[in-house]
Structure 1
Amino acid sequence: MSRRRGPRELSEEERRAWAHLASTVTPMAGRKRPDTPKAPVAPPPSPPQKQPRRMKQPRVQRPVAPPPAPVLAESGGGLDRGWDKKLTRGTVEPDFTLDLHGHGLDAAYRRLDAGLSQAIAQGARVLLVVAGKPRPVHAADRAERRGAIRAKLLDWIAAGPHASRIAAVRGAHPRHGGRGALYLILRRPR
């Protein structure tokens, strides 16, 4: 790599790269696009040397990935302020309670699916799911550690057949289980 003699000396390749970069920038309000540095006076050209011809690579258009499916979280949209206030204060009574304690992962998943089906059939709006306090659990854990059901619960809900019927997921009020439980607010049937 050769050393530069001054701050404005750029090679022809660097000048082209700068010009290309500058053409893609949208200036901030009140500013103008940066100028491309001028080429210094070049010495007379030396005899041409044979260089291998570069083939231009065709531009490959990458397919645009579809946006990711919405992930259910314990907070976020789906409810108006009135619902959020009621849930935060603990004034909402669950219409249906589902306790997943004491089950293995497979049994807890089946119980969650059946419980959601039953709650929807009964026209419930607020479902309380008791799954235990969240604990750090490795994703590949198959229930050897405590907290495995809670670690998988949101994934099960989001990927399950009833995901479109759930308007929001919120942490439960302390009198309904606190960090060890979740409220599932179901959409009204239309």
Structure 2
Amino acid sequence: MAGRRLSPEERDLWGRVTDSVRPLPGKRLRTIAAEPQAKTETAGPVAARTGKTQAVPEPAPRPVRRPVDYLDKSWERRISGGTLNADFTIDLHGHTLDAAHRRLSSALAGAIAHRARCLLVVTGKPRSGPVVPGERARGAIRAEIGHWLATNPHADAIASVRTAHPRHGGAGAIYIILRRNN
């Protein structure tokens, strides 16, 4: 509840909780002063009539980081020269869309947990030419993978998504470069 004052018992209890925990690196614990924590301001005529104040909202969360098209020279040279070694490889070629989506999410989470920097994803070549009715659609995974990565819970850990070198699958595969501090 924004703007609610804590009772002395609640303040004491919160103080004991904060004394028993250690903040994450780079973070600090919120403390509760004797007065309300949030700055207050009146909310216009309604506040004047009721005598209530409204808490000032906290700043908006940090924006989500998006993949970039260009990495530094070292990465670009390794990608274009085919010398980039993937930490993990996953082959989605031949799977259904649902199975491929689940496998990609799982592989991405695993790569992040192991602090990997590069994930090679084999998708199959993109669709070429018109779709013939009654024929199995080609390139469906490749067509969806951009959307899957953008909506993945770990999307902000992705530094770049690049087409793989022909040695690693060319147009039928992509490199997912993960951020160092993911």
| TM bucket, shorter chain | 0.5 to 0.7
- Runs of 5+ unmatched residues, structure 1: 1-68
**Quick check: 1:137–1:151 contact (8 Å CA) kept in 2?**
no
Q: Distance in 2 between matches of 1:135 and 1:85?
A: 28
1:76 matched to 2:55: no
- Please report the RMSD computed on the Cα atoms of aligned residues, expressed in angstroms: 2.3
From 71, 74, 88, the counterpart of 2:80:
88
**Quick check: 1:134–1:179 contact (8 Å CA) kept in 2?**
yes
From 77, 99, 112, the counterpart of 1:107:
99
Alignment of 1:83-162 (within 5 A): 83-136=75-128, 144-162=136-154
Q: Secondary structure of the residue that 2:101 maps to in structure 1?
A: helix
**Quick check: 1:172–1:183 contact (8 Å CA) kept in 2?**
yes
Q: Secondary structure of the residue that 1:183 maps to in structure 2?
A: strand
Q: Deviations over 1:84-128 (max 9, x none)?
A: 111100111100001101211011000000010111111110100
Identity of aligned pairs, percent?
Answer: 55
1:136 deviates by 5.0
- Runs of 5+ unmatched residues, structure 2: 1-63
Q: Deviations over 1:6-51 (max 9, x none)?
A: xxxxxxxxxxxxxxxxxxxxxxxxxxxxxxxxxxxxxxxxxxxxxx
**Greater C-alpha radius of gyration:** 1
From 139, 145, 164, the counterpart of 1:172:
164
Q: Distance in 2 between matches of 1:71 and 1:121?
A: 20
Aligned residues: 115
Q: Distance in 1 between matches of 2:119 and 2:181?
A: 15
Q: Deviations over 1:120-164 (max 9, x none)?
A: 1111101000001111599xxxx9401100100111101111110
Q: Distance in 2 between matches of 1:137 and 1:84?
A: 30
Aligned CA distance change for structure 1 residues 91 and 169 (closer, same or farther; 3 Å): same
Q: Secondary structure of the residue that 2:95 maps to in structure 1?
A: coil
Q: Secondary structure of the residue that 1:124 maps to in structure 2?
A: coil
Q: Secondary structure of the residue that 2:160 maps to in structure 1?
A: strand
Q: Distance in 2 between matches of 1:123 and 1:103?
A: 26
